[in-house]
């Protein structure tokens, strides 16, 4: 598994939930601020590239993604 943190604007949250379901990812934590939502997620290593590619296409770069050191 690989853990990531995401920061997404509010208007991307519905699509982000759908994408996470498509790659069988798991949302571990979600917090909110005035700019959107911060997620910590976990997904299988072999689905990481597909997730990143689809997320980039979906959000046009508006969702920030970082690896979590575990």
The mean per-residue pLDDT over the stretch 36-60 comes to 94
Task: Give every CB contact of residue 6 below 8 A, 6+ residues apart in sequence.
Answer: 16, 37, 38, 39, 41, 63, 64, 65, 66
Which tokens in the block code for residue 49?
């590239």
Residue 53: give the domain boundaries.
2-67
The mean per-residue pLDDT over the stretch 46-53 comes to 93
Q: Are 2 and 50 in contact (CB under 8 A)?
A: no
Start-end of H helices in the chain: 13-22, 48-59
pLDDT one-digit tens code per residue, 6-20: 999 999 999 999 999
pLDDT one-digit tens code per residue, 21-43: 999 999 999 999 999 999 999 99
At 69 the pLDDT is 74
The CATH number of the domain holding residue 40 is 3.30.70.240
Count of domains for the chain: 1
* C-alpha torsion angle, residues 63, 26, 48, 57 (rounded to 10): -30
The whole model's pTM is what? 0.87
């Amino acid at each position: 598994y690989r853990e990531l943190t995401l920061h997404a604007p509010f208007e991307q949250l519905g699509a982000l939930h759908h994408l996470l379901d498509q790659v069988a990812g798991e949302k571990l934590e979600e917090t909110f601020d005035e700019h959107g939502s911060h997620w910590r997620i976990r997904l299988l290593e072999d689905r990481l590239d597909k997730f990143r590619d689809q997320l980039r296409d979906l959000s046009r770069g508006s969702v920030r993604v970082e690896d979590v050191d575990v």
